[in-house]
With several copies, the nearest count.
Chain A
Amino acid sequence: MRSIDRLLERSSRSLAQRTSRRSVLAGLGRLLTGAALLPLLPIDRSSSAQAAESGTHKSAVDDPQNCEYWKYCAIDGFLCSCCGGSSHSCPPGTAPSPITWIGTCRNPADGRDYIVSYNDCCGKASCGNCECNRNEREKPMYRLSRNNDINWCMANTDSNYHCSVSVILGVSEQQ
């Protein structure tokens, strides 16, 4: 059993300004229900990203197992990096959520704002490790595409929530 102090860190999910309107999301949700995982922009993982995943000593903003990691500016839940996955991969035996929400996080290394997608990994019980909740620009449930209190595994075949990832989609044009 974990101690509160280790586990209950600050918590919730924010979203980028430009996420599609909820009705569009709803349509996509229907469309994508049960859809297989489609790589969004099929580019290889960068060596820097791999280095970041390799663990060992690094500052909090560069550590994918730390809630302060720059890509997590709007994540909520258990970090898949602490559950057998990485900042952008689901743990073995889980399934990514085809529906998700989008955030914008600034990378201190290059000063750029990146659009990231926060996906839940689904189908196993709560991972329980590295609970992390950050809430920039998060909105209540009536702005569903900006809301992180909902279980984004809702449309998965196995819809139980396990952990969350943050995946770089590209650079935001807001520079």
Chain B
Amino acid sequence: MQTGLIGAASLCMLGAASLAAELPPPLPAEHLTVEKLAPKNPHWVYVLDEAFFNEIDSRVYLFDGDSYRQLGQIDAGFNPGINLSPDGSTMAVGTTYFARGAHGARTDVVEFIDNSNLAVSGEIVLPPKRANTLPTYFNLAYSADGRFLYVAYVTPASSFGVLDPAKKSVLSEIDTAGCVLVIPSGPNRVSSLCENGRMLTVTLNADGHEGSRSLSEPFFDPDSDPVFVQGVPSNDGYVFLSFLGQVHEVDTSGVHPAFRQPWSIVTPAERDKEHWRPGGQTPLALQRSLGRLYVPMHRGGEGSHKDGGTEIWVFDVKTHQRLARWPMAPLKLGPAIAVQVSQDAAPLMFVATDKADVGVFDALSGHLKQVEKQQLGQTPWFFLNP
């Protein structure tokens, strides 16, 4: 169509040139191009829209926390899990498609996205066992060296798949009965959270099959004070948070996970009298270089652990001191259901609310810099740093 108009358009240019000699020069013709992404910026963030009301159409938006512009979109299918390769160059999207939209033959697959152009660069088809659940860091995850990609399975029997992202193949399936999710450490260790509060760690051999496994002592009480599965990466492992505000730091740098003494983000009075609780879909974020923990907090009781935070509380993970309380209501923001913080020296905090607004904050001062009003999907529930 365009090329078909070259003749006509050229004539038009001539016609205009002669007729409009007294006018300022006309705007030149434009090229239709495909936008190229700039080199990645620590203030970019991947926003996963679960699209709960049209759940087969989940997507990931790449959003720039400096320009407040959407840079692109990655389609993510149904009930996706996402994670990044160690070098950040590739996004792995673990998802499920149906041959006829929301019905027909089911295909579980990991699609690989080239983050330099947001194009699909390949895929690995999975057995139809992928855990269909909400996003965490642990639905699928790469080994530290990027050699393996682990995918959590639930049928409801639990296991995980070991994939070779280079050869685009499935290497093995490893049973984890009683334990779920894939928490990676080192080049070949995969930990899972168990129903009895223990951590299962499977060490793989060179071909991605099980070499050995070990079960830790219980590090939390799943009955009295369970931890959220939404743990976040720390400098030497992961930080987990409990429903009642206990912080469980796990060092996974060794062969066996080491659990530091838990500490609480709430005083006994805050917990038992004021009933302050963490909550949401993504109820914590960690700024690793500053050692600051950001937690959406609300007042509620049993069953309120997915309620959004009416305030964001900020903690120093070394001193365990609370550094700030940032209420949402004065900012005209609804309760915070998901939080993330950038890992650079001038960090931004991203907060998604129960109204699907996304606030961009100065993570040091708590200053609200921008609100994206329902522009990042129906249900933005998870953020990944680039």
Contacts and interface: CB of A to CB of B under 8 A. Distances in A.
Interface of A: 1-8, 10-12, 14, 18-30, 32-33, 35, 37-46, 48-49, 55, 74, 82-86, 88-96, 98-102, 107, 110-112, 114-115, 117, 119, 121, 123-129, 131, 133-145, 149-151, 153-155, 158-162, 165, 167-173, 175
A89 B37 CA distance: 12
B24 A110 contact: yes
Interface stretch (B50-58, B247-255, B258-266): B50-58
Nearest to A11: B306
A40 B259 CA distance: 44
A41 B6 contact: yes
A64 to B, nearest CB: 11
Nearest to B54: A126
Interface of B: 1-6, 8-13, 15-17, 19-20, 23-24, 26-37, 52-57, 59, 62, 67, 69-75, 78-79, 96, 98, 101-104, 106, 113, 117-120, 128, 131-134, 154-158, 177-181, 192-195, 222, 226-229, 302-307, 354-356, 373-375, 377-379
B13 A171 contact: yes
A145 B35 CA distance: 26
A171 B16 contact: yes
B33 A89 contact: yes
A115 to B, nearest CB: 6
A38 B6 CA distance: 11
Given A55-B67, A112-B23, A125 B102 contact: yes
Contacts of A26: 155-158, 177
B54 to A, nearest CB: 6
Nearest to A4: B355
Contacts of A167: 29-32
B35 A96 contact: no
Contacts, number: 347
A130 B284 CA distance: 28
21 contacts: A1-B53, A8-B354, A23-B177, A29-B156, A45-B31, A49-B27, A55-B69, A84-B35, A86-B35, A88-B32, A89-B34, A92-B36, A93-B72, A102-B1, A131-B52, A140-B222, A149-B133, A149-B134, A169-B2, A175-B19, A175-B20
Given A3-B374, A138-B305, A173-B16, A93 B118 contact: yes
Q: Which of A29, A90, A134 has the most CB of B within 10 A?
A: A29
B156 A38 contact: no
Nearest to B15: A173
Contacts of B229: 140-142
Given A55-B69, A129-B375, 18 more contacts: A14-B303, A18-B8, A26-B158, A46-B28, A82-B375, A84-B72, A89-B32, A102-B1, A115-B9, A117-B2, A125-B56, A125-B75, A126-B102, A142-B181, A158-B102, A160-B56, A167-B32, A172-B12
A89 B2 contact: no
A150 B303 contact: no
A55 B54 CA distance: 27
B178 A22 contact: yes
A126 B155 CA distance: 21
A115 B29 CA distance: 9
Contacts of A20: 1, 4-5, 8
Given A1-B379, A85-B35, A145-B1, A46 B27 contact: yes
Give me the 10 closest cross-chain CB pairs, A-B, nearest first: A171-B16, A173-B15, A93-B118, A1-B378, A151-B132, A125-B102, A41-B29, A136-B303, A84-B72, A29-B156
A82 B373 CA distance: 13
Contacts of B37: 92
Contacts of B5: 19-20, 40, 102, 115, 117, 169
Contacts of B374: 1-4, 6
Contacts of B178: 22-23
A124 B133 contact: no
A41 B27 contact: no
Contacts of A10: 306-307
A134 B301 CA distance: 12
B224 to A, nearest CB: 11
A3 B23 CA distance: 44
B102 A160 contact: yes
A117 B1 contact: yes
A168 B50 CA distance: 31
A94 B118 CA distance: 8
Contacts of A117: 1-2, 5, 32
Nearest to A3: B374
Given A8-B355, A20-B5, A111-B23, A43 B32 contact: no
Given A11-B306, A26-B156, A151 B79 contact: yes
A100 B1 contact: yes
**Most chain B Cβ neighbours within 10 Å, of A93, A99, A144:** A93
A134 B266 CA distance: 24
B355 A5 contact: yes
B196 to A, nearest CB: 9
A173 B9 CA distance: 9
